[in-house]
Structure 1
Amino acid sequence: MLVTTGSTVLQAAGILKSFQGVRALDHVSFTLAAGEVHALVGGNGAGKSTLVKLLSGVHQPDGGELRYLGERRRGFASPGEARRAGIATIHQESNLVPLMSVARNLFLGREPRTRFGLIDFARMHARAAEILAAYGMEVDVRRPLGSLGAGAQQMVALARAASADARVVIMDEPTSSLEPAEMDVLFGAIDRLRGEGRSVIYVSHRLEEIYRICDRVTVLRDGKVVHTGPLPGLDRVRLVSLMVGRPYHPRADEPAPEPAGPADVPADLPILEATGLTRRHVLSGVSIAIRQGEVLGLGGLLGAGRSETARAIAGAMPVDAGQVIVAGAPLRKWSIKGAIRAGVGLVPENRTTEGIVPGLSIRDNIALAALPRLSRAGIVSDARVDRVVATFMRRLGIKAVSPRQPVAELSGGNQQKVLLARWLAMNPKILLLDEPTRGVDVAAKGEMQSLIDDLAVDGLAVLLISSDISELVENCDRVVVLHDGAITGELVGPEVTEEGIMAAMAATPQPAP
């Protein structure tokens, strides 16, 4: 029996959660009403995933309490306990079984049985078809789930949650791989859940979806709730400013910029041109150009397509369409190796898993990419490696006992400098820096920003990706802003302000031609 629409179903009060001494949730309070679709938003590291895992029984709180259907409790001991209590979670990647039939997935663990204890397939197939038809799906329920499209699989997951009498359905980025028509069906199903008095926690970075389907919003930042309230009447730019933690004070004579098309190529010949970068559900016709000695910023909210743009340029992510031109010559073999040979270097966002090699020394990490250039007839000259390593350790101010110290022993800022030194040893033309100051202390951040300025003065073209708007304003000559994989604004010179960047973040992308 569902509770009355509008009454409180789930309430978290003063929730605390830490991992290895790092506070992930700091006195978080959250209230969900029956028949409500509640958006949960925030940037990287805001605490959304931790809160979702806590509400669904993956984690237990260190402090605070939950109230569910009026019952006070510390938390759920396991996902199974949360599921049995009526809290279902639909993850971004389906957690169903592709090789099983649609009907088996729909009733997994609660299959109807005959009086002999066997699965009653006839009744299960008939009931599965009836449930899916109510959600607008006409499908052969005996087919393997994996033979359906991503949208249909999401609908099966949603129908499974509803048919299992879930009071609360948590949806984590549910539209990330859906087509527009599939999204319409999904939103219709969410409306149906709302009409039945069920509650939905909707985790998404797509503002259009949030404003279309959600009633209320809670914004997390650095593990704390910075806003909760109704969505109607909350300006999009105000929501963005809450998410990024920057005040928004537009001048009366300065209207928010209209959505922009692809950035114009500068009049003088750019060292890098990326045109029409397109990948389904990820990038939509992104075009950027960078001149020699220029720092171009790439801004946007989580999931906007910033890292994907850099990875596409560096050949680390395949695209469906587009072209990259370096120093006037198109990349013929568009791959990581081809991009490196053309002079493109990428310092990735996650230095621990995609950058440094923890088991190697500082020396070996710096020399790793340049070894072919430092060898003759396949033999590496230790003396040449030592000279190169010493040069860049001195130039970048890498603080270490010696070049042979394990890189894993260094601070985050010095590890980031080691990665930078590796690419500078390759003498690149363009450097793509993805969140270069994330996870480093204030002093190291200042040093890194000075290094970026020095590199530009030396003639290097730099693409700087940052979630810190003030970092973009302070370091960039131009800023291109992405939203949902498309460009929504380009700001140049005095236009590069925090207010201008936030307004472009909140803008709606133009449809791809």
Structure 2
Amino acid sequence: MTVTADHITKTFGGFRALKDVSLVLKQGETHALLGANGSGKSTFSKVRSGVYQPDGGTIRIGGQTTNGFSSPNHANALGVAVVHQEAPLIDTLSVGECMAMFGHYPCKYGRIDWTNLYAQAGQRLARYSVDIDPRRISGSLAASERALVSLVIALDRVETGIRLLILDEATASLTEKQAEDFLQHVQSVAQPDLAILMVTHRLAELENRVQTVSVLRDGLLVHSGASTATTNSEIIEMMAGPRGTSTFGTAVSRDDIMGYWARARSAVSVIDMSAPPALELRELKATVLDGVNISIRPGEVIGVAGLADSGAQELPQILAGESSYDAGEIHVRGRLLPTFTDPSVTIKAGISVLPADRLRSGGIATLSVSDNLTLPSSDRWWHRSKQKADLASSLIGMLDVRPPDASAIFGTLSGGNQQKVILGKWLSLAPAVLVLDDPTQGVDPNARDLLFAAMHAAAENGVAVILLSTEPDQLAAHCQKVFVLRGGKISTCLEGEDVTREKISEWSYS
């Protein structure tokens, strides 16, 4: 049984996100939906899952034809399950409690029957071969475990038999190996009559897994065909389109980015390239970190690699002022930071951190793009609305934010465009140190290149850059040296010819 979408259109405030899109998803097949950030693929997924209602078109599933699902519950009732990029878990609740929120809380004598709740949660996890204790606190789960719990919740919500499983950037927060394990698990629990729609930016995930590939660009379906009929380079070209054909405008060039910095010099302080180290960590100790020493000069790009328990995840939280540290010193441009600090102190000192979790920590969903871009320096724009608008327009142009509308609500942007706005927010401060924590999660290849171009332009203008990434290829391509953390300590510092994917992986995993 096929699941079809015919002539789907969707408009947001005059901006048409989907334009007459038609797709056929066949049972027993995995269908990849690809596109640049802002192309409409997330909107299409949300239309198919009942989050959005289309302005036009029809959906056919399970022998029924509808003009659109009225809600996610309506979609669930007809056999649609969705695993989103962000796991629907509350960190302070147990896994079992989070699962019960999407099902029911078993009660006995008017009170929650906790024994039965955890027994049912354990049975549901076991049904899909997920070996996780339902009593564990959700905040303690690794990213891959959160994704598996999300998969169980999604599959278990469907009441009439699963007809369509949507993986909406479900692997974006996972390492390459974790993503591979997760997708293999999906394949193992999938039924022969199930259609799978996989939205992803990782083209490597398509190999030997996907039968059909469809590409959206600017809300239009520009390609749909057998996966064996196209190469990755052809797919990327279709996602980006010929230069100048985008309805949003022409692509951003390096000259555009450097031009921003030339203009910014009149509005922000210029970092002295001959200054002391931009950042020095001296014997830094925290919950995991154990005596870490790192020094980075203005204009230098260094990488930090390490597994989940290595301390690599703790470092950006400390530098952002979100977590305290037990011992050691942090010096920014030669000045010692206080041991007990908060984000306002670290930002004022010259440290800007782009967090891994952009939705929770990166931006404010209900504010406009303009307000998000200028939030850290809001005091500068009091009664200076024109200057604020000029800065926002400049950053939007430099980073090719789509749509290029400063008044657009941040939460309505695609994940990649949200990431561009967050990066622009910190670049507007011309910080001494820019920390990028896995900045390309859920970002398409072209937007990824733009983010890295902006990063290198910042370095050329004196900003010290620390790049943390779960993808060794990125560290090897963009960093002058890479510190590898293991067990809270620096196991090695790779420099020069040793900065390779193989060396980074070897030191991280061995």
Please point out which of 3, 9, 33 is paired with 1:10.
3
2:380 to 351, 359, 367: 367
Aligned mates of 1:121, 1:441 — CA distance in 2: 49
TM-score (norm 1): 0.54
- 1-side partners of 2:10 and 2:25: how far apart? 20
Distance 1:340 1:229, change over 3 A: same
> Does the aligned pair in 1 maintain the 2:76–2:158 contact within 8 Å?
no
Aligned to 2:218: 222
Match of 1:53 in 2: 46
Residue 380 of structure 2 aligns with an amino acid whose one-letter code is A
Match in the other structure for 1:435? 399
Q: Identify the residue that residue 320 of structure 2 maps to in structure 1.
A: 315
Q: Could you tell me which residue of structure 2 aligns to residue 260 of structure 1?
A: none
Indicate the larger mover: 61-70 or 169-178: 169-178
Of 161-170 and 327-336, the range deviating more from structure 2: 327-336
Q: Which amino acid aligns with 2:165?
A: V
For residues 417 and 313 of structure 1, the distance between their equivalents in structure 2, rounded to whole angstroms, comes to 32
Q: Is the 8 A contact 2:80 2:158 kept in 1?
A: no
Distance 2:30 2:80 in 1: 14
2-side partners of 1:353 and 1:435: how far apart? 16
**CA distance in structure 2 between the aligned counterparts of 1:470 and 1:230, rounded to whole angstroms:** 29
Which amino acid counterpart does residue 69 of structure 2 have in structure 1?
A: F
Whether 1:204 and 2:204 are equivalent positions in the alignment is no
Closer, same or farther in 2 for the Cα pair 1:108/1:134, shift >3 Å?
A: closer
**What residue in structure 1 maps to residue 96 of structure 2?**
101
Q: Which residue identity is paired with 2:141?
A: G
Q: Which residue pairs with 2:227 in the alignment?
A: 231
Q: What's the CA shift string for 1:444-488, capped at 9, x where partnerless?
A: xxxxxxxx9xx9xxx998989993968987995989999755425
**1:45 positional shift:** 2.0
| Secondary structure at 2:447 match in 1 | coil
Find 1:354's aligned residue among 368, 372, 391. 372
The alpha-carbon deviation at position 11 of structure 1 amounts to: 1.6
| CA deviation string 1:108-165 (max 9, x = no partner) | 2598x99xxx999999988865654343235666x47748735152343255157762
1:489 corresponds to:
477
Asked if the contact 1:131/1:163 (under 8 Å) is kept, the reply is: no
Please tell me whether the aligned partners of residues 290 and 461 of structure 1 are also in contact (alpha carbons under 8 angstroms). Answer: no
Distance 1:177 1:165 in 2: 28
User: 2:163 is matched with which residue: 153, 164, 167?
Assistant: 167
2:141 to 135, 149, 154: 149
1:467 corresponds to which residue? 447
Counterparts in 2 of 1:268 and 1:53: CA distance versus 1, 3 Å:
same
Question: What's the CA shift string for 1:159-201, capped at 9, x where partnerless?
Answer: 5157762211122232355577865653233113444321222
Match for residue 65 of structure 2 among 31, 50, 72: 72
Residue 186 of structure 1 aligns with which residue? 182
The residue that corresponds to 2:26 in the other structure is 33
State the Cα distance separating 1:272 from its structure 2 match.
4.6
TM-score normalised per structure 2: 0.54
Superimposed CA distance per residue, residues 310-363 of structure 1 (whole angstroms, 9 cap, x where no aligned partner): x8798377699x9987557786768644544544578998743434469xxxxx
Q: How far apart are the structure 2 equivalents of 1:509 and 1:45? A: 35
Q: CA deviation at 1:85?
A: 0.7
| Deviation string, structure 1 residues 335-393 (Cα, Å, up to 9, x no partner) | 644544544578998743434469xxxxx94636xxxxxxxxxxxxxxxxxxxxxxxxx
**Unpaired segments of 5 or more residues in structure 2?**
244-272, 282-291, 304-312, 355-361, 407-423, 440-445, 481-500
1:13-24 equivalence runs, <5 A? 13-24=6-17
Secondary structure of residue in 2 paired with 1:49: helix
Match of 2:306 in 1: none
SS in 1 for 2:47: helix
- 2 CA distance for matches of 1:317 and 1:242? 41
| Contact 1:106/1:156, CA 8 A, preserved across alignment | no
Q: Report the CA distance shift for 1:44/1:324 in structure 2 as closer, same or farther (over 3 A).
A: farther
Contact residue 41 and residue 220 of structure 1 kept, 8 A: yes
Partner of 1:414: 390
The answer on whether the counterparts of 2:39 and 2:218 sit within 8 Å (CA) in structure 1 is: yes
Measured at CA, do residues 510 and 46 of structure 1 come closer, stay the same or move farther in structure 2, by a change above 3 Å? farther
Separation in 2 of the partners of 1:268 and 1:144?
51
Return the alpha-carbon distance in structure 1 between the equivalents of residues 344 and 102 of structure 2. 48
Whole-angstrom distance in 2 between the partners of 1:52 and 1:105: 25
CA distance in 1, matches of 2:405, 2:390: 10
Q: Give the letter for the 1:27 counterpart.
A: D
Q: Percent identity?
A: 27
- Partners of 2:216 and 2:353 lie apart in 1 by 30
The Cα shift of 1:243 comes to 3.3
Q: CA deviation at 1:87?
A: 0.8
Equivalent-residue separation in structure 2 for 1:418 and 1:123 (angstroms)? 57
Computing the radius of gyration from Cα coordinates, the structure with the larger value is 1
2-side partners of 1:156 and 1:471: how far apart?
34
**What is aligned with 1:258?**
none
Contact 1:37/1:213 (<8 A) preserved: yes
The more displaced of 122-131 and 192-201 is 122-131
Counterparts of 1:270-349 in structure 2, within 5 Å, are: 272=278, 315=320, 327=333, 336-343=343-350
SS in structure 2 of the partner of residue 467 of structure 1:
helix
Distance 1:324 1:221, change over 3 A: farther
1:65 is displaced (CA, Å) by 2.2
| Conserved 8 A contact 1:215-1:230 | yes
2:21 aligned counterpart, secondary structure: strand
| Cα deviation, residue 244, structure 1 | 3.7
Mapped partners of 1:319, 1:30: distance in 2: 50
Contact conserved, 1:56 with 1:88, CA < 8 A, in 2?
yes
Q: Aligned-residue CA RMSD in angstroms?
A: 6.0
What letter corresponds to residue 77 of structure 2 in structure 1?
R
How many matched pairs? Answer: 382
Alignment partners' CA distance in 1, 2:388 and 2:343:
25
Distance in 2 between the 1:234 and 1:323 partners? Answer: 53
Q: 1:235 to 1:354 in 2, by over 3 A?
A: same
State the alpha-carbon separation in 2 of the partners of residues 473 and 14 from structure 1: 37
What is the CA-CA distance between 1:50 and the residue it aligns to? 1.4
Q: Deviation at 1:55?
A: 0.8
Query: CA, structure 1 residues 194+325, in 2 after alignment: closer, same or farther (shift >3 Å)?
Result: same
1:12-39 per-residue CA deviation (whole Å, 9 max, x = no partner) reads 2221111111111122222211112223
Rounded Cα–Cα distance in structure 2 between residues aligned with 1:274 and 1:235: 45
Letter in structure 1 aligned against 2:183: F
Name the amino acid aligned to 2:31.
H
Q: In 2, distance between residues paired with 1:223 and 1:208?
A: 24
